[in-house]
Amino acid sequence: MENRLIIAFNISKTYDLLLQGKGDRTSIYDCTRHYWGRVKKQRAELAELAFGVAHGKIVGVYKPATWRYVDYNGGTRIEFEGVEISDSPYLGLDISEYFHKIQNPVRYIGRW
């Protein structure tokens, strides 16, 4: 994993709402791809993979194809469109050490 450029998103809150049938996200993909702040498009475009991480475990793996800025709740956020990698060996891995005591829900993994 360290040899790849990966952007990981902590989706714990929206993931829990999804499991409860609440919120406006309809899939793990929607939880992972939408409405991130504090992410520069130029940097995100370098990512080979995007992880959706819930409670420290990888629950979704995607290959981003395009990144774009969108208006969301009166601000500018970034989102991506991509392809799910449903057979990824990363699914289920515990990467909680990357999010330990970090407030920003976005982490960059690998050699950035």
In order along its 112 residues, the chain shows pLDDT tens digits of 768 999 999 999 999 999 999 999 999 999 999 999 989 999 999 999 999 999 999 999 999 999 999 999 999 999 999 999 999 999 999 999 998 888 899 999 998 7
pLDDT at res. 38: 83
Specify the 3-state DSSP secondary structure of 33.
helix
**Contact (Cβ atoms closer than 8 angstroms) between residue 24 and residue 72:** no
pTM score of the predicted model: 0.94
3-state DSSP assignment of residue 51: strand
Q: Please give the full DSSP string across 62-101, using - where no structure is assigned.
A: EEEEEEEEEEETTEEEEEEEEEE-TT-TTTT-B-GGGTTT
Proportion of the chain in helix, strand, coil states, percent, rounded to 5: 20, 40, 45
Q: Determine contact, residues 82/63, Cβ cutoff 8 Å.
A: yes
